[in-house]
Structure 1
Amino acid sequence: MGTTADTGFDTETLRRGIEGDSADTLASLYADDAEIRLVNRNAQPSNPKVLHGRDEIRAMLADVYSRDLTHKLEQCVVEGDHAAYSESCRYPDGTRVLSESMLTLRDGKISEQIMIEAWDE
């Protein structure tokens, strides 16, 4: 992976942040005014959880990456001012979580993200 010339988005930083459990590394990829819309079993598509701004996003990332989980960046595709990636996670008891994200990029930073999560039940 690495920096994509067209967008300046650094996919290697994305990988290091996800696989290194580093909320600060991941937060550095977001614009100050970024927004995440999160959809999962608790936040349905008609009422997603919405996070506004890098500070709010960093707090959510700190919570997620402080848990006893392994995280892996499965795939990442960047084209123009958009990117998409798949992340897989596993708890020590074997419970798995899959996350798919679609990103809008501005000046090499994430300005909008739609994240869809699915958990083992």
Structure 2
Amino acid sequence: MVTAPSPVFDTEALRRGIEEQTATTLLSLYADDAEIHVVDHTAQPSNPKVLHGRDEIGAMLDDVYSRDMTHKLEECVVQGDRVAYAESCQYPDGVRVLAESMLMLRDGRITRQTMIQAWDE
């Protein structure tokens, strides 16, 4: 009996979406029922900001990529149905943002993302 291989997470699409600032490319990596949990200085670990579904996630990505800043995928590790990656960003005035994300996958699509981010103040 031959079984079909599981879909593989597209790390190249992740890189393109982040570095080319393409919300559409990044959004295509999420399952319809995906969630993002964001932890930062305004959304503490005990009460993270939670985005539900592609509409809310898309609105956040549109906001982030409408800003005048650069984004770079620093590292990405895929193991089974888990992905971890680091992203660095910089505004024209030199303010930097760092984000670390852990992804859970189903059928090669993101179902849950936990993102911890910090920025210069």
Mark yes or no: TM-score above 0.5.
Answer: yes
Alignment root-mean-square deviation, CA: 1.0
Give the distance between the partners of 1:24 and 1:102, measured in 2 at CA. Answer: 20
Matches within 5 A, 1:33-72: 33-72=33-72
Q: Please, which runs of 5 or more residues in structure 2 have no aligned partner?
A: none
Tell me the equivalent position of 1:113: 113
Percent identity, please.
73
Deviations 1:16-41 (A, max 9, x none): 00000000100000000000000001
Structure-1 separation of matches of 2:12 and 2:58: 19
Q: Determine helix, strand or coil for the equivalent of 2:42.
A: coil
AA aligned opposite 2:101: S
Deviating beyond 3 angstroms after TM superposition, the runs of 4 or more aligned structure 1 residues are: none
Alignment match, 1:83: 83
**Please, what TM-score do these two structures have when normalized by structure 1?**
0.94
Task: Work out the number of aligned pairs and report it.
Answer: 117
- Check whether the contact 1:73–1:86 (CA below 8 A) recurs between aligned residues: yes
Could you say which residue in structure 1 is the equivalent of 2:11?
11
CA distance in 2, matches of 1:6, 1:83: 15
Report what 2:32 is aligned to: 32
User: Is this contact kept in 2: 1:101–1:114, CA < 8 A?
Assistant: yes
| Aligned residue identity for 1:80 | G
Q: Distance in 1 between matches of 2:7 and 2:82?
A: 9
How high is the TM-score relative to the length of structure 2? 0.94
The structure number with the bigger radius of gyration is 2
Question: Shift of the alpha carbon at 1:6?
Answer: 6.0
Residue 97 of structure 2 corresponds to which residue in structure 1?
Answer: 97
Where do 5+ consecutive residues of structure 1 fail to align? none
